[in-house]
Every structure is written in structure tokens, then in C-alpha cells.
Structure 1
Amino acid sequence: MRHIFVGLCALAVQSCTWSTAPSLPLPEGVSLLETVVSDDEGLSIPYQKFRLDNGLTVILHPDDSDPLVHVDVTYHVGSAREALGKSGFAHFFEHMMFQGSKHVADEQHFQIVTQSGGDMNGSTNRDRTNYYQTVPANQLEKVLWLESDRMGFLLDAVTQEKFEIQRDTVKNERAQRVDNQPYGLRSERNAEALYPADHPYSWPTIGYVSDLDAVDVNDLKAFFQRWYGPNNAVVTIGGDFDTTEALTWIKQYFGDIPAGPEVSQPQPQPVTLSADRYVTLEDNVHLPLIQMTFPTVYARHEDEAALDVLANILGGGKTSLFYQHLVKPQHAVQAVVSHPCEELACEFQLFALANPATGPALADLQSRIEQIFAVFEQRGVEPDDLARTKMAIRTDSIFGLQSVAGKVSELAHNEVFFGQPDLVQDDLDRYASVTADDVMGVYRRYIKGKAKVVLSIVPQGQSQWAAAPANYVPVRALPDKSEAPPALVATPTPVTFDRTVIPPAGKPPVVTVPDYWQHTLENGIKVIGHYSQETPTVDLVLSLEGGPLLDPIDKAGLASMTALMMNEAIEGMSNEALANELELLGSHISFSAQGRYTQITLSSLRENVLPTLALLERKLFQPAFLAEDFERLKQRMLQAVQQQQKNAGVLASLGRDRLLFGDENRLSLPDSGTFQSLQGITLDDVKRFYQTYYTPAKATVVVVGQMRQSAVIQSLDFLSAWQGEDYVIPPYGVFPSPDTHALYLIDKPDARQVTLRVFRSGPAFDATGPYFQSQLMNFPLGGHFNSRLNQVLREEKGYTYGASSGFVGGKTLGRFEASAEVREDVAAQALQTLMDELRGYASEGPTKAEVDTLQSAFTQARALSYETPYSKLTFLRRIQSYQLAEDFYQQQQRLINTVTPQQLKALAGEMLSADDMMIVVVGNRAAIEEQLQTVGRPVKPLVLSQGQ
């Protein structure tokens, strides 16, 4: 079941009606198809749908609650539209669409959006590609100019050189996200076994490297000509804009683009299997994984909703049968059931990570899963099963209003695939109508006794752990090259006005910092809050300062373990019963321990906040601390720590922290602890930690939502009565003085890439001092896509999928860090290039143009800073944690406005001296050590034991 992100008509829970009567004058060549307005009942998103003469569909959703706009351009083309042997084209074009067009220079799209204070990206899946930007409201015309130019004039700027650079980038992305990740090939192997070789879902969206190597720039151009016309696109805009003005701009910038070839709606292609297919993959993993996949239906099929409910009953959290029969008895570390549905086909997926402590054999795990089916048949569907699903849909719908981007995405998705943007109430209705008989019916129709794909992922050399010997080897279908596809002749887009002129920005929007109130409870707990009426929701964070810093070093992970135990059973109520109560309320409560804090987060619908707070009170003050819960969670944490050792990024972070903080400081160890330290933690340790540190002495509360201050304070009465002794956060030990002239190499023989980390200690967080000013200084170097590091290492050299740098500041400590995942064959060149860029920037500082960009970006980005309750919560928590002055925002703005290149150059020289930088490299030592010796630093091995 996919999440449903929607909005509410106005500020109440209302439904919508539609009308075809025009309510405003339309530009020539623009037709109004429908207007959806608010009614009195139900949930929906108001919008208007238009169509241009060239076939472009336009959906507009005005929302003036925040001074921003979100623009989404979705093309109905994903990897499913690709031809055999040419996989990855849709994703490849997602990259090419950011490389400039006829009237937009190379990288100028990123430059303009960044300088405008916006953010942007694109994404590709099997069925669609979309490009999206969120910008201050006065930048809308500029974004429409950018999007229209790459729709109508992209091929004028596509060159062989750009093609080769982006091909390298895509291959680096695949290496980083797929080949070098534990379980990264899971989806790819499953799809190859589930679908026939010529089925559009049988190949990966990112493509095969062999296919990427085989194509040329002309293949890519032909793909664009076939699928990227306006008649295969939907432009959706949400936010603070004038409809008449927006339509005028859309007609001006998109209206002249000729329609592309006719595009028909693809027909669903669900599949069936005649027998079970067993596939085994030996991978760089610690925990064996089994995935069982049954083919089912397709998106919005009449059985989809019932299959979603079935997936939730079997494996949807702590109330599920998988949790009760696999996770809780410790047969599996994790077990989940889902029903991802796409345009052509859906898959019913059951997967579980085996717990080696109780047995790694996946055949045993498969047998237990099949026993769960028998339990389900005997148990049937209970009333709460249906009630939980219906409440989840309603809650997701209401929370969806919090982001304009979420509403726009939902409108665009539904229009592209179903021709009806607003399907919110329809979704609510179809899930509400699901019965117990429906759920049992789909179980018998698609799961019980049906053929499936069984994928076993096991550690290298452990094929005997597979569920069964492999009996199926996918065979890739090869393209028929006897007949070349007919050449497409694109109709050039006429130029009827000067497209080289960048549209001016409108009047800058007025950005209002969220107002807030403060209160101190009787026992000293400080509360800060903001009243928001945009959605009937409430978010709360209760923070206890100390967190992992309170761990004894030999019991690192104790704070995390205690927080996990607080998520378990309470006195008089099992974990499952507690989870059921929360799901029926549509609420969420979670305890965690990270960095400097233990945090308790709560989210709820306003109507259910009091019963949710009552459950929080019981969780906070009445934990059961059951031995069986402790043993299960301890095993899970131990297995997770061992699995993390397979991740190059984790190893790099461990190496960095060891060099910065040394072996004698808690800071050098992960928040979750080490294998050695976790083994020494007992349930009594947890109980003592709870008694000592779960007190109000260093507690603070932040609340954002549809609750007035008086109501909040009254609802927190149970916290006012909380008593407990104060405690001391231990001081740090002496930090080491590592050899900053060395290069530290962590050997990872199975690495497919090389991880680079260059770092040093830096300033702690502040709002206007060295830390904030260092953030400004770093922006041109590595703080955005067009920064120097990313442009050189990714766009110019093709060494990496991405390179960045930044300052990370906490309450008392901070650091600078630059990082990249690079190709193994260029590890030394990439590191040398990164260091040269640091030296050059430290010596010369930013240019005047770069400072202009950062000033514009930081200033205008304020319009995006406070849109959602979460962003407001983050803002208030920062004020509370760091005791910021009421006018810190104005102080920051003055610094931004007056900073000079000379000031930032001086700061760069102080903060970015290469002699003060430490370097950690993670990779296959045998393959890269000789290379690295050319960098000019002695290469020293850095060995991380399980205790570190």
C-alpha cells in the first residue's frame, strides 16, 4: 500500500465537487477541463485542470499558507518504456535533463534554483520520471522558463562530452547505491526471476552497466524524441501563486512546444508463475535474508485494497503475525510484508532477516512463514485489522496537508496514471469497504498454494543456508537487431520571444518566523510551543539531555538499549496490545537515543491527542522491562552491529571518530555501541540507567500543532508531577593527537568503490559565531550541487556520484568533513583532486560571484524554512537547546548581507588548512594501496576491531 499524501479543502475535513464552468479568462490555446472545489464532507485536494493545444496537462492547486511554490513536471516514461538491451535510459535522461538546454547554460538550472533559495531534484521509477523544484513564491516564472526550455530545447545542448560524463555518473551511482551496498541487488534479482525476460519490469530502473556501455548519444536523443513531448507530460503547481498569472506564463513558455509522437496508455501486465522459482545470491552480508514474492494484480485493481490489508495483518508492525511468530521468538531480526503496486503489475512481498543466533538456515525460516499462513487461516480477519488500516489511511491523508510538495505529488501521480488528480476520497472509500471476506478471498486467490519467487541472500561461501538449491537462472532477452527502429524526426520548437532572457523574480515574499510561547512546569521542565491551525495534528518532542554521553565506555549502547526497551511492553499491557491501541488512534510514540539526547517523539491527530498522551504517560512511567524483550532487542542490536561492519560508510565514520576522539572517549564509539560493549549490558544496567537518567532534571518539551498554550500545559500535567534527582554529564577525556600527515587505510577487500573522508575538528554550534560563518564559507566549496567539489569530482572528472563538504556542530563539539565515494581505479587521483580543491579554496577563498550566490540562496531559502510542523519543531528545538536570542534570525541576516569574500577567505585559511586535515580511506587495500602512496602521505593501516 503506498502512502497517500493529500490535503484538506480549506482548513476543515471536507470533500470536493467538480465543475467545468470557467471562472477566469483563459489564454488562447488553454482549455479548462475541470474545477474541483470544497464541499462539506470527506477529504480532498482542490484543484483546476487545464490542457494546452499541444496536449500538455496542467494542474493548479493554490495554497497561500506559506510563501513558496512547488512545481512538478512528470513525464509518463520510466524504465518500462525502454527497449530490450537499452535499460537505464529513463534514469539516464533524468541526469541529462540537468545538463543545460539551448537557452540555459551547463549547470545553470542548479545555479538559478540554488541562488533563488530553492531546492530541486528528479526521480525515476518503472513508470514515470519527474522533475521538481520548491522555490520562494516570487521565483515561479523562472522555474517555468527552466522547465520549458529543457522540454522544448534539450537536444540542442546534448553533446557527446556531456553524454560521456553523465554515463560515468550513472555508473558511479549504480556502484554506490546498488553494487557496493549489502542487499543492494535484492530488487534486481527478484525482478529478473519474477517477470519474463521481455517484461518491462524485468530489468532495473538504473540499468545494467553493459547496456549503458553499449549505447551512444544518438540512442539517447531518440529516446527523448519519443517520450518527452508535452502530450506525455503533466505540469502540477501548488503554493502561493495567482492562477491567471501562472496560466499566462505556462502558455508563454510551454505553448509553442510541438506535441511529440502519440502516446497510448500502457495496459497492465500482471504475471503468473507455474512453479516456485528458487534463486540464491551470495553477497557481502552478515544476516541471511529470505524474500518470497507472489505476483498479484496491478494498481487500483479491485483486489488491491484487500491485498494491502492482508499484507498489514501478516507483516505490518508489532500487531502483525510475522512480528508475533518470527521476530518476538527471535527467529528473525526483522520481518515485513508489503504489497507494492505499480502501473503494470503488483508484488506481494514477504521478507525476513534470519537471526544467526537462533539459526541461519533460510529453509527453516521459509517453513515458519508457511506455518504463519496456517495460523492466519485459522485466525481469520479480526475487526481491529480493518480498523487499523482505515485509521492509517485517514491519518496519512490528514498529515499529507503539511507539505505543498506532498499534495502536488499526489495530484501529479493520479493524473498521470489514472487521469483523475483527486482520488483521495476514492481511496478512503475503497479501503473502508474492504471486508474480512475480501481479505480471505485474496489470500486464497493469490497466496495460498500459489507459485512464487524465493530469493535467498546469504554471506559469501554460505550457499548451504539458502532456502533451497537454486532451480532458476534468469536469462536476459537480447534485442532483435535485424530491424532498426524507425527514425523519429522531431519538430523544432519555434522561438517566438527571446528565451535567452532569464525572467525576473517577483516581489520578495514576506517570511514570518514562527511565533512561539514558553512556559516552565512546576518541576522545572521548560516547554516551548507554536499554535498551528493548518492541520488538525499535534507533534511533540520530549528531550532528556545526555543520551549516549551517559554510557560507561565499556557499556556503550546502554542509552540506546534503554530507549529501545522503553518502546516495549508496559505494566499491564503487552507490546502488541499497546501498538494496537496506538494504531487505532492513528498515533505514534517512539523513544530513541542519539547524539547528546534521549528523545521521545509523539505525533497524533488533534482529536486523539489526549488518549495518546495518556499512553505516553504509561510508557514513560510504567515500563515493564521484561527479560524476553531485553534478550530479543539485545540480539537484534548485536546482529545490526555486525551487519554495519559490511558498510563502507559506517567503517569510515568509525575510523574518523577514533582518530578525532581516541579509544578512551565515549564519542569514538557509535551511539548503538559495539559488539563487545553490547555483550556486557544486562537488564539490570537498563533499569539503573532508567532510574538514574529518566528524570525531569534536564528535560525539555517542544509542541507544535492545533493546541493552544493553555490546553498544552493542562495536557502535560503528568509531566509536572514527575520527580527525580539531577545528574552530571561526564566530561570528555583527553583527545589524541593523531598524525595528520598520514593517510589511514581501512581494508575492505570486497569493496566495489573507495570511500574518502577528509576531516578535522571544528567549531561547536552557534547561531552567529564561527560555526554559522563557517557554514557560509563552506557553501561555495561543498555545500550545494554546483559547489566546487561536486563540479570537479563529479561533473568534470566523472570520479564519483557526488562529493560534498560541511561543518557539523553540536552543543560542545564540531568538525569539518569532506567526503566522496569514488571509482577504485581513480582513488588516488580523486583524493589528490579533493585535497587540491581544499588547498586552493583555503588559499584564495570564494569569488565575488560565489558570495553573491550564497547571500541570495541563504536569504531567499527562508521562505522554505518553516512550512511543515516538523520544520517548525526543528526551529523551536534549536532555540531551546542552544538558548538562542530572540533576534538571532535578524542577526544572521545582517551577517549574510554584509559578509565579504575577504572575510570568508580569511576564515577558509583558518579552517581548511590541509596540514590540519586527517584522511581515512576505506577500500580494497590490495587494489588501491599502491595508488594511494602517490598522494604524498605515508599510508597507515587502521584496524577496527569489533570492540571499536
Structure 2
Amino acid sequence: MTGDRSRSELLRMTLPNGLRVLLAPWYGTPRVAVTVHYGVGFRVEPPGREGFAHLFEHLMFRGSESLPDGRFYDHVHRLGGTANGSTHQDFTDYYQVVPASALEQALFSEADRMRAPRFTSGSLAEQLSGVEEEIRQATVGRPYGGFPWPLMPEVLYDTFANAHDGYGDVELLRRTTPDDCAEFFDAYYAPANAVLTLVGDFDPEHARGLIEHHFGDIRARPLPPPPDLREPEPAADRWARCSEPGIPAPAVALGYRLPNPEDDLSGYLAHVVLARLLAQRGLADPGWPRPDSSCGFFGLLDARDPDTLVLASLLAPGVTPEQLVAAVNERWDEWAEGGKIADAVDEAVRVLISEHHRQHSDLQTRGRALGRLEVLFGRGELLDELPGLLAKVSPSQVARAARSLRSAHKAVLVIEPAADRIRPRPATAPPHERPGPPAVHRDAVRLARTPAGPRPLPALLRARREPRLEGLSDTVLNSGLRLVTVRDARAPLVEMRLRVPLRTQGWACPDHLELLVHLIGVRTGAARLAQAIGGEFLLSTDGQWLDVTGHAPRARLDDWLNILAGVVAPTVFPQPVVPPPGALTRRGRLPHRTGDDALRRHWLTGAAADGPVDLAELHRSIMSPLGASLVAVGDLDPVSFTAGVEKALLAWWAADLSPPPRLALRGTGDLLALRQGGLTEVHVTLCTVRPPERAGEPARYLATAIFGSYMRSRLVTRIARRGPAAYEAYAGRETFLDTHRAYVRARIPNGLVKDAFDDIRDEARRLAADPPSATEVDLAREFCAAQLLSVFDSPAVLADLLRQTVSSGLEPSWLERLPGLLREVPVADVAGAGAELYGTPHLAGVVLGDIDPGRFVAETGLTVTEVHLDDMAGHR
């Protein structure tokens, strides 16, 4: 469907004001990614201004001369796009992904805030509140907060620039004024300190013209000197201990200095392979948790020198931090000889190369990575060189990296359970005299005004990029398996998705099914075998389907298919088993999943197994190719891939190709109540059976959006009027058992249950009494048609949505046709579909939480059927 990576090109231009531009055409994608990287991160912050770069990033979204008061998002949200930013050590990036028809609007919005941003006291106060909550969530509001970042730099580094906390102190940040923001902008957000990157299907010459038109008149400004990041090597190991109440086990992180990639890229990449080797192989004692290890706090080549190799692990019971450090040293000693690790290095390199290809076949990720490498190292093209450079990393280079780490002084950060929360002392520096404002400094009021004044937002391009599934093949094999393939050469990989309906036996035994999936994975070693070929194989169930999600290099497709054959083949399991009581809650299953399991059993009239289940028989009953689908998207030939599937799955056959009889469902109008103690929120799924009718599908799609599945929907708008601390709810439709349902899911604080149910009932009544207007439908159709284009952002996303489409009973070409159909559906059809799907105040489904059913009935006036979790697992 999209341009071949081998034909990808990277075009450069530099405007007279110094703005560097990268154009990376990727033909065939219906959306474009626009990113702007500024060469300023939190390592420029002086003492007393910690966290300012991050706060500033938030402020850049709040308004500019032509797009004041948060209007930056108007074109993004209206068209189902995305926009965000992030602050790193040495850069800040801003990125958008929008339909190709909105390319000029995206460029306009970025140019307007590069030219004349607006900083006000009101936006400062608003964003400080948001930043404060973000910091709280990252450092205090979760277990092991701040571990290993931002605590590790304070232990490993000496200089303030490298050691200080990029989040900062909110109380110090409250002293910030709009003029401080204007000063920072003039100093660091000059065009010559920025890189603009475009990725997608656009004409390069047309894009050049748009860029010159919108960015060319932004005034050039001098750049400040770069921060001094020189850092002395540690003279000894450095230990820091902290504590936190409520964590289940101690954790240890080790930090090592990495080679400078600008001076020794091959040495840096050898450390990348070594870190992956440790993450894959773990420590010598197999009973210890496997450490997480990576290069960079935020990712590969994400910062200039100095940067950090980080290793973090929970401690096994009875193991001390000192013993873990000794075990790591033993690993470095063991891997100090290249001959002993040749095979392991080859596998780690294969996995890293596949991951790199897969991640950067995504539109947004590719745009951000190109701009990052350009702003940091002046080499955006390094992105496509990295797979070849990784392939050249030898076992001897990795062994040299292991010897280097073994002899290097490191930082060791320990966090232990304790009654009090204690953290290392933040990095400090001598009193710092802030430099005077830059020569071109303007106050915040003058900064937000230009002589030309506000400019009009450009119109959307009339020509649309309609999505296309190139080389689509859709066939049903003799075995009953449906095979869907799409050629997509953005990466030398193939994404594969197998979906098998669980049928009555699987739907009735959710706990046995979870156990079966676990045992299949263990006995076949599928994940490990796929990793060895540079691929991935994940086996999972959501209670409705058994799913295999994976990928493989194009040269190893047969190997991956053979792994799949081992998973679907009959096998021997232990004697019939009964999962222990309470398994549902102990496994950490999401509350909505638990509720759906309860609904399936109830609708099947309680047909769960009440005693032992033969797992081999359960495997045979659900693992049938009849009704199953295999989707493959990637760099493949459909004919040879189909032959490979038929050969690998030759023994997988449905004995009876006739469709199973329809289920006789009962109790679909009941509202179930499940009490699960300890939850601070009530989880609700309200649903009705609604078998699909293909002729009316576009109308039902828009009706669902209008009722509750996008930001301007009626339900979302009503909830927003209650304030940000209200509750969450959204509408949707999906396959359920052997039929379909329309649903509303909600997550409600315990004190708002009555209000939430009143809201949902009122909006359901209003959908029938006050049908959507033409304007309301037009807004929804514009959003939905544009948002559907995101399906084509990457091969992985496309494979996911094809699996969902096919398993819902639709043709794969539906993804191509639906955006156009949404633009044509009559308003009256949408109104009728809304009344059919959601326009009834009768509420059926399931309510799960720490609830008193009697009180719930008294507050809401609803009738409920109580269900107990242990009963769902087959225990009486």
C-alpha cells in the first residue's frame, strides 16, 4: 500500500533565517506527520529554573497570534489528528499527524507559534496546575516514583546541567512570569535552532513552497552558546539509598556512562547490544527477576554526551543490593570473551534490527526520529543507516563493552520499603547569576504581535488522499481458515495476526482458558522461538477471542509459521484442573474484562464448567480454523505467503466445515451487579444485542460517534460540564459471543454513580427525542472519515484493524470504502440508527465495584441481578 523503504528519500533545505527542513516523502500514506524539534532541553536550565523547559513546552500549545486561546488544536481535533510535545535533555519536540489535506494548516500552526506565541498569566497558571499533576503522577503518585529517572542522574553526575531534575520544583516555577517565557523563547526558539520535518505522501516542490511561504518571514535571531555538558568520570562507585512505603520489594538501578556516539558510534552501539543481551538473558540465577536495561533515559540516541546505560531490577526475596551488583559484575565477566557470546549477540542484533524497522515504519515515530537525529547530531539519515550499523556490531565489540562496564565506576540507586518516603538530596549548584536578556528580547505582549497582525487559517486542500490496500488478497483456504494479505513495504517485516473465536466452551470457562493460553505459551516456547529469529509471538485472550499477535523478518516467515503450527496443534496437558477460587481477582484482570466474562456466562444461562476441565479437550474445541482468520501485512508476496501458510498449517483442519448453530441467549436484558471490594471506582458496561446489517453500517458508525465516541459527542460534552474530576464514559460496538452489541462503558468514582446513570439515561432519551442535526452529523462525519485514515499510519496498526474488521464479519476492503461512505450517508439514516442503538433508557449490562446492591437499587431505581465472582469461575 505504501512506498518501499528502499525508495525512501531525505531531502534537505535551509531557509535564510536558518530553519533546517527535512522532507521525507512516503508515498501512499493518506496522512502526514509534521514535527518541529528545537535544540533546547532541560540541560540548559540554570539553578533555580529547574523544570522551566518542560513548563515552556506546555505553554507553546496555549496560543499564538493567529490561533489564540488554545485554538492550536482546532484543525487537529476536528480532523481526528494528534498533536503533542515532549521535553528531553537536549531538545524539545512538537509533532502533529493530520490528513494530507490538512498539511498546510499544520505548517501554518507551527509557523505561527514559532513567530508569535502568546504567554499570559492565565495560561501560566493553568499549565502550572497541569505540570504539577504530571510531576506528582510520575514521582509520587505511583509506586517507585522517580525510579530510575529522574533520581539516577543525581547519583551518577556531578555538574548541575547533567545531574538536576528535569521536572523541577513547582513552587519555584510559580515565580515564572510571562516575560520570563518571552525571554526564554527569544533565546532558544529561534528558527536557526529548529528542525522542521515532514513525512508522508506530499509533493516535495509543493511542500517547499508552503514552507517558504509560512516560515520564510520569521525573523532570524542569534543563538546562545550551547550548555557546557563536560562531565568528569566518577572516581568510585556511588551509592544512594531511598525508601518508600507500600512497595512490594526493594529495587536497584545501576547507571553507567556511555561512549560518546559522535566520537565512537560503533562503541555506543556495542553497548546497546550488550544492554539488550542482558535484558534477554538476565542474570546467572534464573530465579531472579530479569533486569530491564537500555541505553538512554528516554531511548537510543536520544541525547548528546554524556548519556547513560541504565539497568533496573526488583530484588528477589532474600537478595541484597550488594548481591545483585555482584551478579551483574559476574555477567560482565562472563561476557568479556566474544567467542562465548557469538550466538547470543547475533540474536540480540536481529531483535534490535527488527524492532528498529517496526517502530520506524510508523508515520509519527519516523518523523520524530528523523528530526531528533538531525537536531542532535546533524544526521537525520542516520535513522535508515542504523540497521546496517547494528548488523556490523561484532561479538568482540560487545565483549569489549562488557569489559569496559566491569571496570567502570557506576552509580547504584536503591529504593526499599519503609514507613517514610525518603529521596536523595536534589542536585545543587553555586548561586547562579542569570544572564541578561538576549539582544532581541521582547516582553510577552510585544512578542505576541507582528506588524502584519493575525493571519487567516488556510483552507483544507480539496483533493483527498483516499486510502488503498495495495495487493489485497482475501481467500478462505480448504481448511476453513480465512487468509487476508496486504503488501506494505515500509519495513522488511511482515505483521501477522491470527484470531480464533472461542465458541461456547471457551466463553464459558474464562479461567481455564487463561490457564490454557499460559500453558500453550510455556510448552511451545513460541515467544522465545520467535525472538530467536528476530520476531515476536504473543498469545493472548480477551475472553471473546484467542489472538496471536506477531511479526517476523521477511526472510524468516516460514520459521514463524512453523511456530504457529506448533501452537494450534493438539497437545497433551495435565489432568483436568479447576483454577483456585478467587482466580479472577488475583490475576489482576481488568474490571471491564471481568464484567464481560460475567455477561457471557449469564447470557449462556450459566453454562460454565462447575468442576474439572480437560484442557486438551478445551484446546481441541476452540482451536479450529473454521471461523478463524489470519491477517498478514508487510513486505510479502501474497502467492508465496499463501503457499507457506498452507504448507505450515497442513495438519490444521476443521473436521466439519458447516457453520455452528446460533446460540440461544437468555437474560440479555438483565443488569448484573458484581461486588469486588477495594475498588475506588465503579466499572459499568451497559449494552444491548444489535446484530449487524451491512447496509446501514455507515449510519450506525456515525450514530455511535455522535452519542459517545469522540470529543464533541453528546455524552462526552455532558460529562465535561461536570468538570475534570467527573467520570469517563464512551460508546462503541463490537462482536460479543456469536452476535454483536452496542455498548456504553464507564468508569465512575463511587460518589458519582447516580449522576452518571442519570446522564446516560437522559442522553439516551434525548437521542430519540432530539435527533442529530445536519450540522452535528457533518461534524461527526468529518472527524470520523479523517480519523479512519490513521489505520494506515503503520503496517502494525493496519494489521490490527484488518483483524478487527474481518472478525466483525466485514470485508477487508471496508477500511478503504468507509471514509467515503461516511461522507455520503443521509442525516435521517444517522438519526434512525442512533435511536435504534442507544435511544432507549432501559439499561442492561453489568456493574462491578465496591458497591452495595441494595443501595445501588435505591439510588438509581434499577433492578439488578447479583452475581458472585467465585461463581463465575465455576465454584459453588
- Fold conserved (TM > 0.5)? yes
2:640 partner SS: helix
Match of 1:330 in 2: 287
User: How has the CA–CA distance of structure 1 residues 375 and 103 changed in structure 2, closer, same or farther, with 3 Å as cutoff?
Assistant: same
Q: Is 2:731 aligned against 1:806?
A: yes
Q: Distance in 2 between matches of 1:905 and 1:722?
A: 44
Q: Distance between the aligned counterparts of 1:225 and 1:946, measured in 2?
A: 65
Over the aligned positions, Cα root-mean-square deviation in angstroms equals: 5.0
**8 A contact 1:101–1:150 mirrored in 2:** yes
Contact 1:299 1:345 in 2 (8 A): no
Which position in structure 2 is the counterpart of 1:282?
244
- Cα gap change, 1:407/1:501 in structure 2, threshold over 3 Å: closer, same or farther? closer
Q: Secondary structure at the match of 2:148?
A: helix
Q: CA, structure 1 residues 63+204, in 2 after alignment: closer, same or farther (shift >3 Å)?
A: same
2:487 to 531, 547, 552: 531
Deviation at 1:236, TM superposition (A): 0.6
Partners of 1:640 and 1:366 lie apart in 2 by 37
2:141 aligned to which of 180, 200, 204: 180
Instruction: Write the deviation string for residues 81-102 of structure 1: whole angstroms up to 9, x where unpaired.
Output: 3343444333333333332322
Residues 782 and 788, structure 1, Cα contact 8 Å, conserved in 2: yes
Corresponding residue number in structure 1 for 2:198: 237
Tell me what 1:489 maps to: 442
What per-residue deviation string (whole Å, max 9, x for no partner) do you get for residues 248-288 of structure 1? 21112111222345144445445644333132332544454
SS in structure 1 of the partner of residue 485 of structure 2: strand
Residue equivalent to 1:502: 458
**Residue identity (%):** 19
1:860 has 2:786 as partner:
yes
Q: Deviations over 1:671-690 (max 9, x none)?
A: xx9xxx9xx99xx9554543
Q: 2:44 aligns with which of 67, 81, 89?
A: 81
Partner of 2:559: 611
Write the deviation string for residues 192-249 of structure 1: whole angstroms up to 9, x where unpaired: 6424586345455454444444544444443333322222211111222222221221
Write out aligned runs for 1:274-423 (5 A). Answer: 274-286=236-248, 288-300=250-262, 302=264, 303-315=267-279, 317=280, 320-322=281-283, 325-326=284-285, 329-332=286-289, 334-340=290-296, 342-354=303-315, 365=324, 368-377=327-336, 381-399=340-358, 402-423=361-382
Match of 2:630 in 1: 701
* Contact kept? 1:168, 1:798, Cα under 8 Å: no
Among 547, 558, 564, which residue is 1:599 paired with? Answer: 547
Aligned residues of 1:136 and 1:863 also touching (Cα < 8 A) = yes
Question: Is 2:795 the counterpart of 1:869?
Answer: yes
Q: Within 2, Cα distance between the matches of 1:227 and 1:837?
A: 48
Q: Is 1:112 aligned to 2:75, yes or no?
A: yes
The CA deviation string for residues 402-437 of structure 1, in whole angstroms up to 9 with x for no partner, is 334343223211111001211146534543443444
Give, as a single letter, the amino acid of the residue that structure 2 aligns with 1:489: R
- Structure-2 change in CA distance of 1:862 and 1:808 (3 Å): closer
Question: Is residue 169–residue 794 contact of structure 1 (8 Å, CA) maintained in 2?
Answer: no
- SS for the counterpart of 2:397 is helix
The answer on whether the counterparts of 1:703 and 1:873 sit within 8 Å (CA) in structure 2 is yes
TM-score, with structure 2 as normaliser: 0.80
Distance 1:143 1:125, change over 3 A: same
Residue equivalent to 1:445? 404
Structure 2 contact 150–166 (Cα < 8 Å) conserved: no
Gaps of 5+ in 1: 1-6, 14-37, 39-44, 464-469, 749-753, 926-931
- Relative to structure 1, the CA distance from residue 605 to residue 89 in structure 2 (aligned partners, 3 Å threshold; closer, same or farther) is same
Aligned to 2:64: 101
Letter in 2 for 1:712: F
Specify whether residues 911 and 765 from structure 1 end up closer, same or farther in structure 2 by C-alpha distance, changes over 3 A only.
same
Q: In structure 2, do the counterparts of structure 1 residues 734 and 837 end up closer, same or farther at CA, with 3 Å as the change threshold?
A: closer
Compared with structure 1, are the counterparts of its residues 514 and 551 closer, same or farther at alpha carbon in structure 2 (3 Å cutoff)?
same
Which 10-residue stretch deviates more, 367-376 or 346-355? 367-376
Question: Is 1:125 aligned to 2:50, yes or no?
Answer: no
Among 592, 613, 619, the alignment partner of 1:690 is 619
Structure 1 residues 480 and 688, CA gap change in structure 2 (3 angstroms) = farther
Distance 1:331 1:808, change over 3 A: farther
Alpha carbons of structure 1 residues 644 and 568: separation in structure 2 relative to 1, 3 Å = closer
Alignment of 1:910-921 (within 5 A): 911=838, 916=843
In the alignment, what sits opposite 1:559?
513
Give the secondary structure class of the aligned counterpart of 2:649: helix
8 Å CA contact 1:517–1:530 kept in 2: the answer is yes
Q: Distance in 1 between matches of 2:649 and 2:258?
A: 49
Q: How does 1:459-858 map to 2 (within 5 A)?
A: 461=419, 473-477=424-428, 480=431, 486=437, 488-489=441-442, 492=447, 494-496=450-452, 499-512=455-468, 516-546=472-502, 550=506, 553=509, 556-568=510-522, 570=524, 575=525, 582-583=530-531, 585-621=533-569, 644=588, 650=590, 653=592, 686-716=615-645, 717-723=647-653, 734=667, 737-738=670-671, 747=678, 759-762=685-688, 766=692, 773=699, 775-777=701-703, 779=705, 783-784=709-710, 797=723, 799=725, 805-811=730-736, 812=739, 814=741, 816-817=743-744, 839=762, 843=766, 849-858=775-784
Q: Is the 8 A contact 1:517 1:709 kept in 2?
A: yes
Q: Which residue identity does 1:331 align to in structure 2?
A: W
- 2:22 corresponds in structure 1 to 59
Could you list the runs of 5+ residues in structure 2 that have no partner in the other structure? none
The DSSP-based 3-state class of the residue aligned with 1:46 is coil
Paired residue for 2:413, among 441, 454, 477? 454
Distance 1:586-1:533 versus aligned 2 partners, 3 A rule:
same
**Residue 22 (structure 1) aligns with:** none
Q: TM-score when scaled to structure 1?
A: 0.75
CA contact (8 A) 1:277 1:453 kept: yes
Q: Report if aligned partners of 2:26, 2:199 keep a CA contact under 8 Å in 1.
A: yes
Paired residue secondary structure (1:187): coil
Supply the AA of the counterpart residue of 1:330: G
Q: Aligned in 2, Cα 1:278/1:838: closer, same or farther, shift over 3 Å?
A: farther
Distance of 1:176 and 1:453 partners within structure 2? 24
- Which AA in structure 1 matches 2:269? A
Q: Which residue of 2 aligns with 1:159?
A: 120
Structure 1 pair 446/846, CA: closer, same or farther in 2 (3 Å)?
farther
- Quote the Cα distance in structure 1 between the aligned partners of 2:162 and 2:748: 29
Q: CA 1:401–1:486 in 2, change beyond 3 Å: closer, same or farther?
A: closer
Letter in 2 for 1:714: A
Instruction: Give the distance between the partners of 1:504 and 1:195, measured in 2 at CA.
Output: 50
1:224 aligns with 2:185: yes
Cα distance change, pair 795–52 in 1 and its aligned pair in 2 (3 A)? farther
In structure 2, the CA distance between the partners of 1:729 and 1:457, relative to structure 1 (3 Å rule), is farther
Distance (whole Å) between structure 2 residues aligned to residue 177 and residue 912 of structure 1: 41
Q: 1:440 to 1:736 in 2, by over 3 A?
A: same
How many residue pairs match? The answer is 844
